[in-house]
Amino acid sequence: MDIKHGAVSSPPSRAHLYLPDWQANGLEAGKFFPAVQAGMADPFAPDDIRNVQPPADGKIASAGKDFAASLDAVDTDWKKHQVTSGQNLEITWGFHAEHKTRRFNYFLTKNGWDPNQPLMRAQFEPKPFHSVQLTEQPYWAHQLNPGNPVTHTLRLPQRNAGHQVLLAVWEVADTGNAFYQVIDLQYT
């Protein structure tokens, strides 16, 4: 079964830590999180392929994939990466299949989110705190290749001490999908 595409390796995502490599790289669902419907055009690049169905609330960590449903569990003591408010955090993606990349979006859970509830859109800030966009258009006339691997440096938002979840979303231009990776953080 070859559904490898890409995953966050550093700091290790939940998928990278708890799934076989081919599964960690296959967490693919509709782009434009936190959107809930399919068929939407990219407002920045309207010629990109329209999105398919994004993952449902409660299935964000698994991207709605049955083989990764364990990533959506709420009664697990996930391995957490130690961070502090305002620090720079480097996120490294590695890719196993090429897709023309439109952007990477990074979301963080809100202060006061409930880790005893499934991950839902309402628990995340509605807009990414960091975004990296490849601007060339139309997608078919350009490489839109971010490099492999690619590392982004993010300045983490202020948060109270405790568990937070960083959602990293790699949106592709030439399909309706994005790849979903969650990283568990321990703010100190």
Query: 33-57, pLDDT tens digit by residue?
Result: 999 999 999 999 999 999 999 999 9
pLDDT at 150 over 70: yes
Rounded percentage of the chain residues whose pLDDT exceeds 90: 93
> Of 93, 117, 94, which Cα lies nearest the Cα of 105?
93
Q: 21 by DSSP, 3-state: which?
A: helix
What confidence category does residue 1 fall into, taking pLDDT thresholds of 50, 70 and 90? very low
pLDDT at 66 over 80: yes
Angle at 12 between CA 49 and CA 83, to 5 degrees: 110
Specify the pLDDT at position 65: 97
DSSP code of 54? Answer: P
> Of 175, 172, 133, which Cα lies nearest the Cα of 152?
133
pLDDT at 2 over 60: no
> Which one-letter amino acid corresponds to residue 182?
V
Report domain extents, the chain: 6-187
pTM of the model: 0.96
Listed in sequence order, the DSSP H helices in the chain are 14-18, 21-24
Residue 123 structure tokens? 């628990």
- Topology of the domain covering 6-187: Coagulation Factor XIII; Chain A, domain 1 (2.70.50)
Query: How far apart, in whole angstroms, are the C-alpha atoms of residue 31 and residue 18?
Result: 23
